[in-house]
Amino acid sequence: MSEQLIQDIDILGEKPKVKESCDYKISKDTHTGKSRKLYIESYGCQMNFSDSEIVTSIMEKEGFDTTSQFEEADVVLLNTCSIREKAEITIRKRLAQFNSVKKEKPDMLVGILGCMAERLKEKLLEEEKIVDLVAGPDAYRDLPNLVSRVDDGHKAVNTVLSREETYADINPVRLNSNGVTAFISIMRGCDNMCSFCVVPFTRGRERSRDPQSIVAEAKQLFEQGYREVTLLGQNVDSYKWARDAETNQKKGIEKSEAKDIVSFAGLLEMVAEIHPDLRVRFSTSHPKDITEDVLWTMKKHENICKYIHLPAQSGDTRVLNLMNRTYSREEYFEKVDAIRSILGGECAISSDMIAGFCTETEEEHQATLSLMDYVKYDFSYMFYYSERPGTLAAKKYEDDIPLEVKKRRLNEIIDKQREHSLERNQEAIGKTFRVLIEGQSKRSENQLQGRNSGNKVIVFDKKNYAKGQYVNVKVTDCTGATLKGEIVD
């Protein structure tokens, strides 16, 4: 298996998928007569995809149409990821492509957004001179001003992190939307200091968005025909919004109400109650924070999808301590047991796994494999450890596991997940699921595909059905990655 393949892997069961050079880009062109065109690409997590929709909304109001061809753009923006070294290497290669076009089109402005911008800051402008503009995740409102500075002949940078910014008042432009599913950002930042992770340094401290603005956005999406929303946060279970007593008194809210707190379980219920036909997903959960209140809320509402992404990272308590994950192997098992007890065995669980973290022994690697045997994840996202500058692990520990050992351990994790994904999918054969149709199957124009509550892709004959409808599908066969079925009454 090639180094590229095993370093950037997304396992859905049957076979690994190599991520494309661009995870997400503008797929539509707008022609409203505005004077300039914007092109934007996103890399990494769903939060970056959601942020790009916010950025596009801001820029459209400042006189930009969108284009799906970067050669036609006046402003090219890359919303970047720093979670692994390969992500940054990929982005640098893409910048080289943009700059080759820029030589023929010198007025083109190239900018870096997101986590890589926050991590490298002025270095991208002053030392490497590969971009004109750098904006961190909390500086997107300042983008029009930054573009104006570049237009005036200056380099422009804003990487100031905020303790308040949530972009709650901005209506995102749904860039690559299928018109059925959409992301809603409910919080920003992360207070967990996992030793391998750059996110707390690139996205700042946790802050939760006003629940009323989240509900309003979800309602609007439903009215526009969307039938599924995914609530996004680095750690959604730590969502907590409290009314500020002084501010709300000015709005006429009684003092006794000012200390009301909305938890993640409360927010889930508020969104689920919008309409029974609006499905609700969420990502990501941290094992230390997910509560039984959340699980009971999921059980109470049929339209809250029975799927939880619960990253383990390792199956060994000592390694988890080095990672600063703040839970033990046994405590992780307790969370999984609670999920199975309250939601049943059909609730899908996925994970993240890191092979070859600093000082990991062969026995500790085997502990990860045995944890996987216990949980039997439906699918997982798996990587070998890549040291990131500035993280606690880079400062405190030696990256001492040889690359060939990391690769071999990752391959063993991949093989284990293939086995479990196929086993879990085989358990679905003969069962009937409510499926939201998301569009045409990738392999045949005569078939449709959608996902069930457990986030499993199901493919079936089209008949007279269309995107956005719910259908009941009986599973007749499967691969490790996909369920196959037929529509039933």
Which residues, at least 6 apart from 234, have a Cβ–Cβ distance to it below 8 Å?
Answer: 47, 187, 188, 189, 190, 192, 199, 203, 206, 284
Q: For 432-488, which CATH class?
A: mainly beta
pLDDT of residue 126: 77
Give domain 7-158's CATH number out of 3.40.50.2300, 3.30.450.260, 3.30.590.20, 3.30.428.10. Answer: 3.40.50.2300
Which residues, at least 6 apart from 257, have a Cβ–Cβ distance to it below 8 Å?
Answer: 243, 248
pLDDT of residue 7: 32
Q: What values do phi and psi take at 203, rounded to 5?
A: -120, -5
pLDDT of residue 24: 52
Q: What is the DSSP letter of 20?
A: P
Which residues, at least 6 apart from 204, have a Cβ–Cβ distance to it below 8 Å?
Answer: 137, 138, 161, 162, 163, 188, 189
> SS3 helix, strand, coil % of the chain, rounded to 5?
35, 25, 40
Sign (positive or negative) of CA dihedral 367, 368, 371, 372: negative
Which of 289, 343, 293 shows the shortest CA–CA distance to 311? 289
List the domain boundaries for the chain: 7-158, 181-423, 432-488
DSSP string, 42-68: E-SSHHHHHHHHHHHHHHHTTTEEE-S
> Within its chain, how far is the Cα of 227 from the centroid?
19
Neighbours of 290 (CB within 10 A): 21
Burial class (CB in 10 A: 0-12, 13-18, 19+), 393: buried
C-alpha torsion angle, residues 209, 210, 214, 220 (rounded to 10) = -130
> Taking the CA atoms of the chain, what radius of gyration do you get in angstroms?
23
pLDDT of residue 178: 86
pLDDT of residue 45: 82
CB-based contact 160:138 (threshold 8 Å): yes
How far apart (Å, rounded) are the C-alpha atoms in residues 434 and 220? 24
Q: Give yes or no for a cis peptide into 284 (omega within 30° of 0).
A: yes
Which residues, at least 6 apart from 254, have a Cβ–Cβ distance to it below 8 Å?
Answer: none
pLDDT of residue 290: 96
Which of 134, 119, 111, 86 shows the shortest CA–CA distance to 202? 119
pLDDT of residue 12: 36
The CATH architecture one would assign to domain 181-423 is: Alpha-Beta Horseshoe (3.80)
pLDDT per residue, tens digit, the chain (489 aa), is 333 333 333 333 333 332 333 455 555 677 777 779 999 999 888 888 899 999 999 999 999 999 989 999 999 999 988 777 777 888 889 998 998 898 889 899 999 998 888 888 878 787 667 899 999 999 999 999 999 999 999 889 999 999 899 999 999 988 777 899 999 999 999 999 999 998 888 888 999 999 999 999 999 999 999 999 999 999 999 999 987 644 444 444 444 444 578 999 999 999 999 999 999 999 999 999 999 999 999 999 999 999 999 999 999 999 999 999 999 999 999 999 999 999 999 999 999 999 999 999 999 999 999 999 999 999 999 999 999 988 999 999 999 999 999 999 999 999 999 999 999 999 999 999 999 999 999 889 999 999 999 999 999 999 999 999 999 999 999 999 999 999 998
